[in-house]
Amino acid sequence: MNEPGGVIADKRRNYRYYDLLMGGFITVLLCSNLIGPAKSCMVFGIKFGAGNIFFPISYIFGDVLAEVYGYARSRKVIWAGFFGLIFATVMAQVIIHLPVNADEPLNKIYQPAVELMFGGTWRIVAGSICAFWVGDFANSYVLTKMKVLTKGNHLWTRTIGSTIIGQALDSLIFYPLAFYGVWQTSELVKILVFNWLFKISIEVIFTPMTYLVVNFLKKAEGADHYDIDTNFSPFSLRD
């Protein structure tokens, strides 16, 4: 359904940039979860995984997808990222546990390194996957609902507002599931809040660029979807 001043996305069309955005989203997601956790940083006495610097970019991709193409197409991208994370996790575990070639002397260096970088505990892996799934669906849902309520005005309220909710759920799921009982509760809460605020800050900083990308895509694709009669179940893959 169309809204004043907007052009609804044709669900039957193939869009020029949609697949590229999906690829960018999944790339940022996988790199943040596979490369990022390999290094722990400290700023102002607060610990955080290096991947947190880049993970919020996946939310920016999610905002652009939902704003331009609508919730249903954004939902497909989230599921693609979800299964990408699962495959990467399974692949890492298979590679870690494959028998080592004893004739290769470098394996004495490589095997411990692979285990260290890709052998995350089940709590961290489960927390990361569950937090991503819930947080990203919440982000897309809030943004598309707010778009209808605001009649497509004030994009910044939607991108930042949806990120506040999505990243809050992401952090509330990931950190307790991954680190409760490992870190002191006070430290866990401090890290959780810091990372939540940090991720929101990234969204705010990138807001001008988000405007540029969204405006470009709406014009180039001839799409500006409003989710009036959309099925918001995360388990449907219908357009």
Ordered by start, the domain boundaries in the chain are 18-221
φ and ψ of 183, to 5 deg: -100, 155
Quote the pLDDT of residue 117.
Answer: 78
Neighbours of 46 (CB within 10 A): 14
* Tens-digit pLDDT profile for residues 65-93: 999 999 999 999 999 999 999 999 999 88
| Strand pairing category for 46-49 and 40-43 | antiparallel
Q: Counting beta carbons within 10 angstroms of the beta carbon of residue 44, is it exposed (0 to 12), middle (13 to 18) or buried (19 or more)?
A: exposed
Evaluate if residue 1 carries a pLDDT over 50: no
Quick check: 110 and 63 in contact, CB under 8 A?
no
Q: What is the pLDDT of residues 178-214, one digit of tens each?
A: 888 888 999 899 989 988 999 999 999 999 999 999 9
